[in-house]
Structure formats: C-alpha cells, structure tokens
Amino acid sequence: MLKITLTQGKVGKKDTQKRVLLALGLGKYGSSVVHADTPTIRGMIDKVSHLVKVEEVPNGTPTGRVTRRAKRQSQHKEVHATTRTTAKSGGEKAGTASKSTAKTAAGVGAAAE
C-alpha cells in the first residue's frame, strides 16, 4: 500500500500532470490518498514524482482519501497513549499536586498574619 501526498501546487503545471493528479484523487496541496501498490499506480506516480511524496504503509490500511479528521484522530491516539503511561508512572501529576499544596499552605500562612 502506498500513501501519496501532494507536496506542490498544480498551478502552472501541464494539463496531463493535472489529469494524473486528479485520477490519483489528489485535489489540493497537502491532500493524501492511499492506493494499492500496482504497476498502474507506480506509472502514474512516475509522471508526477516531482509533485508528490510517496510513503509505504501497512497492508491493512484502508484505501482512499486520508482526511484531516483521520490524521487528527491518529495523532490524538498517539499522544493519549503516551500521556496514559506517564500518569501511571506518577510522572507529572504527582509533582503538580505538591506544588499546588505548597502554594495553598503559603497562602494560608500569609493570611493568618
């Protein structure tokens, strides 16, 4: 499976290159699609190789357009997974609780005087 991303704009490009990009499903700058790795797709990529970036993705990846929402959700899952491991190890959360407790204790002592 191949993930193809349009890295250059289509303005000022030859009509044949624009048609190849349209056939691949690439509309706007930065748009991405996933296609099977076939000789036909490879030939199309060769025609517009200076306009696209190609990445290998796992075979189970669904084909078609890669939307911004899907990109955000996958990034959110990665961040959430790392945050969950930090919280379990007692990383940042324990330190922030002691700081807030120290501030409260200092505020109570200052108010009493």
DSSP string over 79-91: HHHHHHHHHHTT-
Closest CA to 71 of 37, 33, 45: 33
CA–CA separation, 54 vs 4, rounded Å? Answer: 5
Over residues 43-65, the mean pLDDT reads: 90
pLDDT above 80 for 100:
no
Q: For all residues of the chain together, what is the average pLDDT?
A: 79
Closest CA to 55 of 111, 108, 6: 6
The per-residue pLDDT for 64 is 80
Q: What is the largest CA-CA distance in the chain?
A: 81
Residue 93's Cβ-side half-sphere holds a number of Cα atoms within 13 Å equal to 8
Measured in whole angstroms, how far is the alpha carbon of residue 85 from the centre of its chain?
21
Domains plus CATH for the chain?
A: 2-89 (3.30.1390.20)
The per-residue pLDDT for 113 is 46
